[in-house]
Amino acid sequence: MLSLKEKDRPIVRKLFDAGCCARCVLRFCCVGTYSSYRQPYEDIHRELFAFIGEENSKSHDASDQGQSEDPPSKRMKIEDNGSLEDSVTPAEPKTVSDICPVCLGVLQHFCDHTYAKQVSDAVKKEQYEFDRLVLTVSLPAQLSVREHSCWLHIKREVREKSMCLGKDDVIQVKDAFKWAVQGKIGQDLGANVLANSAFEVSVGFTHPETDEDCHFLATICPDCFKPTKNKLEPFKLEVPPCFQQGASIFTRMAVVKALEKISDEKFSRHYPCPPKKPETTCTALDTTCLHNSVFIAGRYNKFSRELPQTPWVIDGERRMEGSVEELIAAPLLFSFRADGFNFSSSGREDVDVRTLGNGRPFTMELLNPHRAKFNTTEIRQLQETINQSSDKIRVRDLQIVTREATSRMKEGEEEKTKSYSALIWTHKVISSTDLEFLGNIKDLKIAQKTPLRVLHRRPLAVRQRLIHSMSVSYLDTHHFTLKLCTQAGTYIKEFVHGDFGRTKPNLCDLMKTDADILELDVESVDIDWPPAIPD
């Protein structure tokens, strides 16, 4: 049942002699059948001892389970008067640890129904809605060192048997653990456990007793353990730099990289083979859950001239209540039960600018949603909830999209066109004939320095933009309506008043008079995304 062969017999004995647990024996014998690891520990242990032709003694079984061999025993004591008396004598203190020196107890004590229920109970408490999950496991980096040590311990035996077996053939602790426990977790949660899923359940283990197992590698392979820049300062402040308790430079990837470089001889000089038995087992960390982000797309109209697109905060003080993103986000956060959101749109309008027409495309990333599946009817209801919550905005074409699809909103954004309608005031008296020449201007090239009003949040640069076309409607001697079709990213207000000469040419230059913009509306954002949804 365990798929072992005659050549594995001496390897099994050698691993047991080193104190390895039954599941680690299977791993080093390259047993790759899931069902072997799912068996109760006692059954695996019994089959292995039957395989090597030894009695599955109580002491062996207790040792591998990390339990005392016997409870305090009742012994006979000869009194001075020669009579016999029953007495209870405490068991002798154990001098050898019962914990596996390779997996540090992970495959002994955390592959049963008790731990599986502990994990599933933690997941249920978070109240996610899901029908499939992926189980991820985080193990202490020192397990890689101990596995390497055990591999060197049996390497000679492998060579003597002329076995074609490499270290990479050994089943990883992480895989063996998943094979043993994930079926129990999935059954308890009523969900399929897959290799990939949007819903992730993470378990982890720590083992402070052996944290220093990796430290010798930093002396032999210092290039593998260079701290990142943001971690340099703590290392300078605390002495010594590399060997402090819990130093974060000893990541699993760094340790594996160092083990690939170090020679067997040098490793054996610095670390015992097989590894020493620990006194304590691993400690399980809290189970955590995370659902991949859900992305919502749509278009919004803004009808208010007193509503910013995003919260308006100046010098740490909020100006104006509410924002477009908050009005859209509130119903979505509530329905998806998400932890937060990221809002993005195709450009942005100023607080005093309306967005009309078909609206401005936007996407909203909902972080760690506890509910992720909504049908078309439910999404329509969400859209209606947003629209009924305020008369300042309106949303259309609301839909769930993929992360990849959101990039289409930004692709070639500056090559797209946008249309505007502006109410213009002029200093000098004008007539309708004074405006006719503006309608004849096509593809006017302008150069815009970063406007003074946004210089605090955008880098100083000169941007080349196109005014594709203009049309005018005369109102009175000092006012007219200007309609523009421009390259996306054009600063319309600065094109009108010139921004102290930072935009050239500008409307003031063209009309040879001072002019300013009184009202501005976005009439259309010509991006064919997201797909329109019929009413």
Q: Which of 61, 211, 339, 350 is catalytic?
A: 350
Same structural domain, 218 and 192:
yes
Q: Is residue 92 classed as helix, strand or coil in its secondary structure?
A: coil
In a domain, 67, yes or no: no
In a domain, 69, yes or no: no
Q: Which residue has the tokens 């009742």?
A: 74
Same structural domain, 218 and 325:
no
Same structural domain, 297 and 335:
yes
End position of a domain, from candidates 350, 383, 409: 409
Same structural domain, 343 and 390:
yes
In a domain, 233, yes or no: yes
- What's the rounded Cα separation, in Å, for the pair 484 and 444? 11
Maximum distance among all Cα pairs of the chain, rounded to whole angstroms: 135
Closest CA to 304 of 355, 250, 347, 231: 355
Same structural domain, 272 and 305:
no
Predicted pLDDT at 5:
85
Cα atoms in the 13 Å half-sphere on the side-chain side of 373: 7
Let me know: does 416 contact 488? Beta carbons within 8 Å: yes
Same structural domain, 360 and 438:
no
CATH number at residue 423: 3.30.70.3190
- Produce one character per residue of 464-479: b if its CB has 16 or more CB atoms within 10 Å, e if not: ebbbbbbebeeeeeee
Token pair, residue 524, equals 């259309």
Residue 533 contacts by C-beta under 8 Å, 6 or more apart in sequence? 396, 397, 398, 399
3-state helix, strand, coil in the chain (%, to 5): 40, 25, 35
DSSP structural state of residue 222: G
Same structural domain, 382 and 326:
yes
| Tens-binned pLDDT, residue by residue, of the chain (535 aa) | 577 888 889 999 999 999 999 999 999 999 999 999 999 999 999 999 999 986 544 444 444 444 433 333 333 332 333 333 333 333 333 334 689 999 999 999 999 999 999 999 999 999 999 999 999 999 999 999 999 999 999 987 776 655 556 778 899 999 999 999 999 999 999 999 999 999 999 999 999 999 999 999 999 999 998 876 554 344 343 433 443 444 468 899 999 999 999 999 999 999 999 999 999 999 999 999 999 999 999 999 999 999 999 998 877 888 888 999 999 999 999 999 999 999 999 999 999 999 999 999 999 999 999 999 999 999 999 999 999 999 999 999 999 999 999 999 988 676 789 999 999 999 999 999 999 999 999 999 999 999 999 998 889 999 999 999 999 999 999 999 999 999 999 999 999 999 999 999 999 999 999 999 999 999 999 999 999 998 7
Same structural domain, 142 and 255:
yes
Token pair, residue 453, equals 């009003």
State the residue range of the domain holding 504.
414-525
In a domain, 44, yes or no: no
Let me know: does 91 contact 72? Beta carbons within 8 Å: yes
Predicted pLDDT at 503:
97
Confirm whether 350 is a catalytic residue: yes
- What's the rounded Cα separation, in Å, for the pair 264 and 152? 7
Task: Count up the domains in the chain and report the number.
Answer: 3
In a domain, 268, yes or no: yes
Closest CA to 248 of 232, 270, 271: 232
In a domain, 68, yes or no: no
Same structural domain, 274 and 360:
no
Main-chain phi, psi angles of 321, to 5 degrees: -90, 135
Token pair, residue 339, equals 């932890």
Same structural domain, 243 and 214:
yes
Residue 208 contacts by C-beta under 8 Å, 6 or more apart in sequence? 283
CATH number at residue 384: 3.30.70.2510
- Tell me the pTM: 0.83
Same structural domain, 183 and 204:
yes
Predicted pLDDT at 207:
97
Predicted pLDDT at 169:
87
In a domain, 500, yes or no: yes
Predicted pLDDT at 315:
79
End position of a domain, from candidates 384, 409, 434: 409
Same structural domain, 137 and 211:
yes
Token pair, residue 468, equals 């594709």
Instruction: Give the per-residue SS3 of 484-517.
Output: EEEECCCCHHHHHHCCCCCEECCHHHHHCCCEEE
- What's the rounded Cα separation, in Å, for the pair 71 and 58? 12
